[in-house]
A and B are shown apart, each in its own frame.
Chain A
Amino acid sequence: MKALLLTFTLLPTLALGADPTADEILAKYDAVMGPSTFESQAEMTATREDGSTRTYAMRFLKRDADKFRVWFAEPASVKGQEVLRLGDNAWVYLPNLKRATRIANRDSFQGGDFNNADVLRVNYRADYDAKLVDSPVPDTWALKLKAKTPETAYDAITLIVRKRDLQPVRGEYYGTSGQLIRSATFSDWRELDKGFVRPARVVMQNEVVKARKTEMVTRTFKVNVDAPPQRFMQADLGK
């Protein structure tokens, strides 16, 4: 709903030809990539440096701005693994450990090139300060994001969105010493739910080990679903 509202509030500004502010662009990104409450199914394929790939199937459930659940279904080696994020805390539940263990924003998400925050914590307006910069790509806006706290997943991000509808095209992610560590390419923009458009495919390229990349494909996406609060408790992990 929020996403729709934002789209509507942004449309007039776009129609009038006035340039959106950095904050408006970022708000739109958050609304597209991390809407408030949703349920979705996704497939993630990690390509490793030796060329081997592995595909994971998972289900996401999000409630409000900061409650998130992940259930892994495939392959067999990760079936039954679950992730819970509550505010600044996140846990992974491993069935063979029979308990939850804390995980950090910057840790890799299931051995791929996304980190936990990329998947569990898309709320750039809360985590980063944004500023409009010259875009290297025609017909796009570019934002330079600076981390507000050292706990964020990256120290800086360059985000490139289309002028037409503010959908993300590319992201570049920088580490502590200013080096480029990941870059994301967004594609396959689709109306996944009624009135809700977002890129169904994100490829995260590892810029440190170039042969590594991870692709996340969204299969289904439903906004404004019923997300019962009891699903977002530690005690619910493994149930």
Chain B
Amino acid sequence: MALVKLALRNLARNKRRTAITFVALVAGVGAMVAIKGFMNGQRRQILENQQRGNLGALQVHRKGYVANVLASPLTLDFADSPALRATLAAVPAVVAVSPRIEFGAQLSTPDRRPPPDDGSDLPEADRGQSSFLLFTAIDPATERVVTPKRWEWVSWARGQMPRAASDAQVVLNDDFAKGIAVPLWAAGEAVPPIEQQLAVLAPDRDGSLNGVNVVMAGTLASATPNDRRVGLMPLATAQALLRMEGRVTEYGLAVAEGADLAEVKRLVEAAVGADFEVHTWEERLPFVRDIVDTQDFVFGIVSGIFLFVVLLGVVNAMLMSVLERVREIGTMLAVGMRRRQVVQLFIAEGVVLGLVGGALGALVGFAWVSWMNARGLSIPAPGAKVPSLLRPSVDAAFLARATLQATAGAALASLWPAWRASRLRPVEALAHT
């Protein structure tokens, strides 16, 4: 304790130098906390968009569906029965159940002109184009409760969502649709003749080719990574295309705000039995894990450099302090102070510097993060074009870790100056001017 008191007194002797070192530490740790808070907010934003825009809080599939090597096997389907929906809806905290089918299909745009009469080729620019897309078939009535963000994304782009499950319409990504110049059908207008409509071709549940003529009713603004080659189709239209009347491959579930998702998942699993599997939205998103891993790696490097630069300042300050106090150290050694105690004294100064500066920095960072969290930053999620509110956040564990890192770093940074001080020869040190 005496050591700490002594360290504090020594730090107070040169207030300006100590203040400068403090500022560096506070700024460094504060910035680390702020960046971390921002990154956490970004991750939350991606996940929120996925939950409320793509997946729903929980997903129910036939057992083995998610692990299947094929991205979306139609054979692992199930009957969309009112009884099953009722069973799911009866689980506490389940707000809505929405039937879906995920399927791969080829979307073809029409040729821009009829074929020449002489049988020759249309010029390349006039030919229709085909693209492979991953479609999600949805029932607009139930889906609007489970993934309301889709409607928001359409409002940021063009057109509108289909109204009925049997509409012969699709909704595509806005960038994608512009890229291959898909014509937009404006609601209320006459539907174009079939040779000017879009064709969606897909293997049905038995693998035989089938197709449907559709128009593009609206487009989705990009809001989540990897969403350029996806489309939406009303459920009954897709069921006819895939020859899967009354059958679906997935239920998306909306869960009450604030409910414990893991607990609701357990209850849903118990309700549907062993033939089905249940996943939370986070479990379905391996790529979010990748984004987080990459961010953590970059953050590790950046914060490492921050800390290093700040600690160089600590080394410098401590070294100055040693050089200034050569005669004093000589005196201490002359009156019988151990070299070990000299080392301890200087390290104690470093620890106090790091602890106070780090804690202060963490507090400043936390204050900024809390303020921004309450206010919200209106910027797009990574890879998105639609602004949404980013709310930075950090947890107490990170604040503690940042403070601890600063303290340990400062202690480490004082090692060399402290060692130099302890190596002084009392006779020479006393004669030092």
Determine whether B159 belongs to the interface, using a CB cutoff of 8 Å to chain A: no
Residue B209 lies at the interface, judged by CB distance under 8 Å to chain A: yes
Known: A99-B195, A107-B106, A108-B203. A233 touches B211 (CB 8 A): no
A94 touches B208 (CB 8 A): no
* A14→B290 CA distance, assembly (Å): 59
Taking a contact as CB atoms under 8 Å apart, the answer to whether A77 and B69 are in contact is no
A144 at the interface (CB under 8 A from B): no
List residues of B (189-206) whose CB comes within 8 Å of A's CBs.
194-195, 199, 201, 203-204, 206
How many pairs, one residue from A and one from B, have CB atoms within 8 Å of each other in the complex? 81
A216 sits at the interface (CB 8 A): no
Q: Say how far A159's CB is from chain B's closest CB, in angstroms.
A: 27
Instruction: Give chain B interface residues in 103-123, CB to chain A under 8 Å.
Output: 106, 108, 111, 115, 119, 121
Judged by a CB distance under 8 angstroms, whether A103 is at the interface is yes
Check A75 for interface membership: any CB of B closer than 8 A.
yes
Q: Determine if B207 and A94 form an interchain contact, defined as CB atoms under 8 angstroms apart.
A: no
A99-B195, A102-B127 known; A209+B70 contact, CB < 8 A = yes
Q: Residues of A contacting B70 with CB < 8 Å?
A: 49, 209
**A97-B194, A102-B130, A233-B119 known; A54+B206 contact, CB < 8 A:** yes
Known A-B contacts A97-B194, A101-B199, A209-B70; A54 and B130 likewise in contact (beta carbons under 8 Å): no
Q: Nearest-CB distance from B108 to chain A (Å)?
A: 5
A97 contacts which chain B residues (CB < 8 A)?
A: 194, 199, 211-213
Pick the residue among A88, A111, A209 that contacts B207 (CB under 8 A).
A111
Q: How far is the CB of B179 from chain A (nearest CB, A)?
A: 17
- Kindly state the separation between the CA atoms of A49 and B243 in the bound complex, as whole angstroms: 19
> Do A112 and B199 form a contact, CB below 8 Å, given A48-B75, A50-B75, A209-B69?
no
Residues in B neighbouring A209, C-beta threshold 8 A: 69-70
Q: How many angstroms from the CA of A232 to the CA of B253 in the assembled complex?
A: 51
Nearest chain B residue, comparing its CB with the CB of A208:
B69
A52 surroundings in chain B (CB, below 8 A): 75, 206
Question: Counting CB contacts under 8 A, is A167 at the interface?
Answer: no
Whether B210 is near chain A, meaning CB under 8 Å from some CB there, is yes
Q: How many residues of A contact B (CB 8 A)?
A: 34
Q: In the bound complex, do residue B130 and residue A99 qualify as a contact, i.e. CB atoms below 8 Å apart? A: no
Q: Does B148 contact A (CB under 8 A)?
A: no
Nearest Cβ on chain A to B328's Cβ, whole angstroms: 70
CB contacts under 8 Å to B, within A98-133, are 98-99, 101-104, 107-108, 110-112
Given the known inter-chain contacts A98-B194, A108-B203, please indicate yes or no for A54 contacting B115, CB distance below 8 A: no
A94 to B128 Cα, complex, angstroms: 17
A236 CB to nearest chain B CB (Å): 10
Q: Which residues of A have CB within 8 Å of B207? A: 46, 48, 54, 110-112
What are the residues of chain B within 8 A of A88 when measuring CB–CB?
121
What would 22 A/B residue contacts be, using CB atoms closer than 8 Å? Answer: A49-B69, A49-B75, A50-B73, A75-B208, A77-B204, A86-B119, A87-B121, A89-B127, A92-B201, A92-B209, A96-B210, A96-B211, A96-B212, A97-B199, A97-B211, A102-B129, A102-B130, A108-B203, A110-B209, A111-B208, A111-B209, A112-B207
Shortest CB-to-CB span from A204 to chain B, Å, is 14
In the complex, A78 has a CB within 8 A of chain B: yes
Contact of A89 among B121, B208, B212 (CB under 8 A): B121
Q: How far is the CA of A74 from the CA of B152 in the complex (A)?
A: 45
Contact (Cβ within 8 A) B208 A54: yes
CB closest chain-A residue, reference B117: A235
Q: Is the CB of A94 within 8 A of B211?
A: yes
CA distance A101 to B107 in the complex (A): 10
Bound CA span A108–B201, Å: 11
- The distance in angstroms between the C-alpha atoms of A81 and B212, with both chains bound, is 13
Collect the chain A residues with CB atoms within 8 Å of residue B201's CB.
92, 94, 101, 103
A82 to B: closest C-beta gap in Å:
11
A186 to chain B, nearest CB (A): 23
Chain B: interface residue count, which band? 20 to 34
A98, B207: Cα distance in complex, Å: 20
A residues in contact with B194, CB < 8 Å: 97-99
> Smallest CB–CB gap between B230 and chain A, Å?
19
Tell me the smallest distance from the CB of B125 to a CB of chain A, in Å. Answer: 14
Residue of A with least CB distance to B132: A107
- A46: shortest Cβ distance to chain B, in Å? 6
User: What 1/0 flags go to B226-261 for Cβ under 8 Å of A?
Assistant: 000000000000000001000000000000000000
Which B residues lie within 8 Å of A111 (CB)? 203, 207-209
A110 contacts B208, CB within 8 Å?
yes
Q: Is A234 an interface residue (CB 8 A)?
A: yes
Point out the residues of chain A lying under 8 angstroms from B111, CB to CB. Answer: 102
Distance of B351 from chain A, by nearest CB (Å): 55
Q: B69: shortest Cβ distance to chain A, in Å?
A: 6
* B108 and A94 form a contact (CB under 8 A): no
Contact B211 A77 (CB under 8 A): no
Q: Which B-chain residue is minimally distant from A87 (CB atoms)?
A: B121
The residues of A that contact B69 with a CB separation of less than 8 Å are 49, 209
Residue numbers in B under 8 Å from A50 (CB-CB): 73, 75
Query: Quick one: which of A48, A50, A102, A104 has the most chain B CB within 10 A?
Result: A102
Cα-based distance from A221 to B398 in the complex (angstroms)? 74
B213 CB contacts on chain A under 8 angstroms? 97, 99
Q: Are A94 and B209 in contact (CB under 8 A)?
A: yes
CA distance A46 to B210 in the complex (A): 16
Cα–Cα distance between A230 and B213 once the two chains are bound (Å): 27
Complex alpha-carbon distance, A81 and B121, angstroms: 22
Residue of B nearest to A89 (CB): B121
Which residues of the partner chain B approach A81 to less than 8 Å between Cβ atoms?
209
Mask: chain B, 204-225; 1 = CB below 8 Å from A; 0 = not: 1011111111000000000000
Q: Collect the chain B residues with CB atoms within 8 Å of residue A101's CB.
A: 108, 128, 130, 199, 201, 211
